[in-house]
Amino acid sequence: MALGTQEIVNKLWNLCNVLRDDGITYHQYLNELTYILFLKMAEETGKEKDITKGYRWGDLKSKTDDELLGFYRQLLLKLGTKGKGNVQKIYNNSQTSINQHKNLRKIIKYIDELDWFDAREEGLGEMYEGLLEKNASETKSGAGQYFTPRPLINVMVRLMDPKIGERLNDPACGTYGFMISAHHHIVANNNIYALEDDHSKFLAEEQFSGCELVHDTHRLAMMNAFLHGMGGNITLGDSLSCMGEKVKELDMVLANPPFGTKKGGENPTRTDLEFPSSNKQLNFLQSIYLSLKQSGKARAAVVLPDNVLFEDGDGKKIRKDLLGKCNLHTILRLPTGIFYAQGVKTNVLFFERGITDKGNTKEIWFYDLRTNMPKFGKRTPFSEKHFADFEKAYTAADRTKVKDERFKCISLSDVENFNLDLGLVADESIRNGNELDEPQEIVKEALSEMESIMKDLNAIIKELE
């Protein structure tokens, strides 16, 4: 992220301190900021035509203190019920948590005075994604579950290499990060201005799609797509319901679906899953490989927790089905500490849907990016450079010639009981008797967190002064 954009993100995020007197949480603040930012961005980008006259940025800004809060509430209701297209989707069921007009005035004034020329030059979408990442990194916001780290997204997209004309989807899209990165990839690798009209229209309106269950997160995804100049082809709903059965014939899926057990231990309501389970990740895995075209080229990269690799019962049946219908050619064992939900052990499964439904996987290449890795956190941020050796191994013309102890091939005939919890190398900390290193790292991380808290407190004190 460019320095100017980062500065704007920090300034906007610090506004949250202004709203604490109103008892507003981080997540509520980001929604509130989205409502107001959308009006300003529409003015900055010349797209106010979809916003009802009388309810635009200039109208909000011009209200007196006595009128401001009442007009703002009316604006949210009007745009959420009478707005056109994506405007209505962004403001649907919107309501404000701000109770003091002075706080609303301060936000409007602050936003109006920022250097939007620099922001436009560097990318309004970059700025908004910076805000989403800030929200995800705040443990109190609880938003980390909706945010996949940008370095991981970018690497997955680069290796999957989406092409113009391919139909992409994320069935649990969160704030739409995968599709936005895929759009960046295609634009960077093609002369989009030389495209024929039908290809250009497909890229703008149909190529990317997603589904998101949580209303507020769907709103953020719509805003994110808007600021990146993408069509908001994002469904509000549950991919594990009958709605998901309609998503078929895809060329590519990129996803980090939610983990855990469905509330109440219920199975999904869609009827096309051969092995319905109360475990959401197992259902998402099935729905993803069933949504791919049987062309031999349709492919997916999916983040999944360790238990998908070894769980018995339905887990074993689903792995067997996956290995039959698809060529599961690569499993990347990810390090811990890279997600905002600490301690989660995850993997990326890379697979291609076969033309037939049987015998597609013959061997699986495992890459261990977990063992003997640094402890990632604020002191050691996770970045794309940590994937460099994996990318070289993944893209090698002849994988058998790659000399990397983390990279190994296991024949399916050597896999016992369809257990895929494999490919990890020897742990040096155990081998060398350094088990005490971990508590020391935890202490360092705690001290770093305390420093961050003190900075926030100082910012609040400064604001109050």
- The predicted model gives 254-283 an average pLDDT of 84
Length of the chain equals 465
339 or 372, which is more confident?
372
Q: Give yes or no for residue 112 having a pLDDT over 80.
A: yes
Buried b / exposed e along 118-134 (16+ C-beta atoms within 10 A): ebeebbbbbbbbbbbbb
Instruction: Look at 102-106, 159-163, 296-300 and tell me which has the smallest mean pLDDT.
Output: 102-106
Question: Tokens 């991380």 correspond to what residue?
Answer: 445
- The predicted model gives 21-42 an average pLDDT of 82
Q: What angle do CA 218, 303, 385 make, to 5 degrees?
A: 105
Return the domain boundaries, the chain.
3-134, 143-425
- The DSSP output letter for 201 is H
Residue 381: CB atoms within 10 A of its CB come to 12
Token pair of 234 as six digits: 């994002």
Fold of 143-425: Rossmann fold (3.40.50)
- The predicted model gives 75-87 an average pLDDT of 90
Dihedral, CA atoms, 48, 50, 55, 58, nearest 10 degrees? 0
Q: Which helix H or strand E contains 365, and what residues bound it?
A: strand 363-368
pLDDT tens per residue across span 390-438: 999 999 999 999 999 999 999 999 999 999 999 999 887 655 544 444 4
Q: Give yes or no for residue 227 having a pLDDT over 80.
A: yes
Q: Give yes or no for residue 176 having a pLDDT over 60.
A: yes
In the prediction, which pLDDT does 162 show? 97
In the prediction, which pLDDT does 438 show? 47
In the prediction, which pLDDT does 172 show? 95
- Quick check: helix, strand or coil at residue 4? helix
- The predicted model gives 156-176 an average pLDDT of 96
Fold of 3-134: Ferritin (1.20.1260)
Which residues are CB-contacts of 292 (< 8 A; sequence separation ≥ 6)? 250, 251, 252, 253, 298, 299, 300, 326, 352, 353
Instruction: Look at 22-26, 220-224, 251-255, 273-277 and tell me which has the smallest mean pLDDT.
Output: 22-26
In the prediction, which pLDDT does 86 show? 85
Q: How confident is the model at residue 459 (pLDDT cuts 50, 70, 90)?
A: low
pLDDT tens per residue across span 185-209: 999 999 888 888 888 888 888 999 9
Burial of 262 (0-12, 13-18, 19+ CB in 10 A): middle
In the prediction, which pLDDT does 428 show? 74
* Identical topology for domains 3-134 and 143-425: no
